[in-house]
Amino acid sequence: MLENWRLPWRHRAPTAASPVLLEHGAVPWLLAVAAATTLPHAEYLPVWLSLIVGVLLFGRAWLWLRNERLPGRWTLALIVFAGVAGIAWQYRALFGRDPGVALLVFFMALKPMEMKSRRDGMVIVMLGFFLLLTHYFNSEDIATGAWLLASATLLTAALLRIYGGAQPIFGVFRYAALLIAQALPFMFILFLLFPRVQGPLWGMPLDTYVGLTGLSDQMAPGFLDKLMLSDAVAFHVRFDAETPPQARLYWRGPTFDSYDGRAWRVSYSSLPQANNKRAVVEAREKTQENAGIDYTITLEAHNRRWLLALDMPISLPPETTLTPTFEVLANRPVRFRARYAFRSIPDYVANREETPRMLQQALTMSSRFNPQARALGESWRREFADPERISVAALRYFREEKFFYTLEPPALGQNAVDDFLFNTRRGFCEHYAGAYVVLMRAAGVPARVVTGYQGGESNPVDGTLTVRQSDAHAWAEIWLEGQGWVRVDPTAAVAPSRIERGGSAILTEGETLPILMRIDNDWLARLRHLRYRWEAVNNAWDQWVLGYNTERQRETLASLGMDDPDWQSMALAMLLAIAAALLSIAGWTLVRRGKLPAETRAWRRFCARLERFGIQRAPWEGPFDLAARAADENPRIAPLVRRASTHFAELRYGDGDRRHLRALRDCAKELASFVKGE
């Protein structure tokens, strides 16, 4: 049996009706499978469930070490009932993405407690393969892909160990890695040519998109600070030419023109179907710099319709709309990473002529809240007739009245704007933008709040600009007669470095920002170039692997000569490529078979001559089993067969040397003389 440890599939299946018991030495392999496939989920599961999973796996390992009996069926049934009830209570459901994954993890940890037969081991391996796919619900980065590849190798090795018996660990992993390597060409072919499917892989319900982060459809105190403390990537940008200065990088998102005294929202009058007026954007001056900036955005999924274009877009991608408030909307929510090409102009005139309805909406405010702010705005209206001078007065007020930019502002009362302007005077962009717009409306100047992102970090390795959630920003727009909508950023009056250098420039003592924003730290500065390289690799992964959607597939196949491919041509190309890969692997296998070790060639020569005596070695039969059978079927040559088997075993599995190889060859010659003697 020793010869065929490398070829476990050649063992004959047992004929007994009862299931084959699992070998004691195979249990650690299956426990390693359970741990590898469940461990990454610990970050997202409830703490109590992660503890139960750990206790179950540790307990099964302890029972294996002590060779103790497994728990009875009633005990396992109680554990199952308690675990399922706990998951139902935690998620308020048993169906859906999160409770479904929790159940899979729980059952994976519980299955080893009843693992007795080889069939139970097969169930764990198959469940492990399925559980690997669920890791992409939470993370799709390179580290996750590497972990899944290593786990798939472990699962394959465990399968070989279950059906192959006791084998050297290194040999099992080497053979499993070889099988995985042989599958890689087919994986690449399917990835390249299989039609892209828009939608979740398993057709999960809407909670597939739960947890997608980004801007909201309303702005209230404390809305942006959660985003500004996150270093998650919002989108990547690649400019066709030089990257514009940091101060010009305003990425426009939702525009809020309705305020009820508590929160800012998008009004009905700003939506495309409610206003037939077309958004009109033109360059302020027809210069080469203002002719247009071309760029491509790779936008992370955020489950909203708005896109993030550089203010102000003049050319849009297909299936998008520019609203009267200059917000770019896709035809459907962005639920998957997507690429969009835009053209924008940095110095623009927007809607020089505006509808009375839009202007009236930009002046509306509640009379029940913020009386002090309304009184201050009305005083400016009486003092300054010119709207531009009113805006200058408001910015001067922010600059001279000792306002502070902070990411940890104190709580505000019912009259939030009054409390901010006259009491706390501490806040960040959403506080300044919202207060500025309230002052402008009180002074009779049409104004609204714009949210989006400002700035970004340029990567010198691949030239892309990375905009993170921590770059979330809010600014204001006022409408001036003859000039249209003009951008005003009140934050620049208080913390101009926030606009010119990014969020880390305004970090005050005692406050924390995401670690990727703290670029002034000495220890991080020394690793900055390494971080840039890693982010460039991640961006390439996002672009070519995770972002390989229908459009990217069409572009790639067009570059390979398949112009406008349909599913029939793609299926034919896929079949031909798979056939070519199969032929290549078969040819490689035949070449390897022609380069067998010397001891294997000598042993096969001996076995071939042994067939002349009516003794044919079975594919699964080891050398000592063959010698025992030869002793029963032909005692005359039994000593010779036993001697040849001993020499081959020493060469193959022991410390045999060239003397054993010569002796094995001599046995083959001696067996040939037996044949001639007959």
> Residue 592's pLDDT is what?
66
> Residue 125's pLDDT is what?
93
- Tokens at 543, concatenated: 């672009």
> Residue 545's pLDDT is what?
77
Query: β-pairing, 426-427 with 404-405?
Result: parallel
Residue 116: φ, ψ to 5°: -125, -35
b vs e for 436-445, b when ≥16 Cβ sit within 10 Å of the residue's Cβ? bbbbbbbbeb
> Residue 654's pLDDT is what?
80
What residues contact 641, with CB distance under 8 A and at least 6 apart? 610, 615, 626, 627, 630, 631
- Quick check: 433 and 196 in contact, CB under 8 A? no
Give the CA-trace dihedral at 598, 604, 609, 612, to 10 degrees.
Answer: 180
Query: β-pairing, 447-454 with 250-256?
Result: antiparallel
Helix (H), strand (E) at residue 123: helix 118-133
Q: Which residue, chain included where needed, has tokens 């009875």? A: 72
**Whole-prediction pTM value?**
0.67
Kindly tell me the sign of the dihedral angle through the C-alpha atoms of 368, 372, 375, 380.
negative
> Residue 223's pLDDT is what?
64
> Residue 402's pLDDT is what?
84
- Quick check: 260 and 453 in contact, CB under 8 A? no
- Quick check: 343 and 292 in contact, CB under 8 A? yes
Q: Cite the active site residues.
A: 429, 473, 489
**Which amino acid would we find at residue 470?**
S
> Residue 393's pLDDT is what?
93
d(CA 333, CA 306): 8
> Residue 4's pLDDT is what?
41
Helix (H), strand (E) at residue 204: none
Q: What is the CA radius of gyration of the chain?
A: 35
Exposed, middle or buried: residue 616 (CB in 10 Å: 0-12, 13-18, 19+)? exposed
d(CA 518, CA 624): 68
d(CA 386, CA 364): 20
- Tokens at 77, concatenated: 């049934």
Distance in angstroms between the alpha carbons of the first and the last residue of the chain = 31
Those residues of the chain that have pLDDT short of 70 are 1-18, 197-214, 221-228, 268-278, 286-289, 497-529, 592-595, 675-678
Q: Which residue, chain included where needed, has tokens 């913390």? A: 495
d(CA 214, CA 234): 7
- Tokens at 150, concatenated: 């290593």
- Quick check: 125 and 158 in contact, CB under 8 A? yes
**Which amino acid would we find at residue 97?**
R
Q: Which residues are registered as beta bridge partners of 235?
A: 299, 467
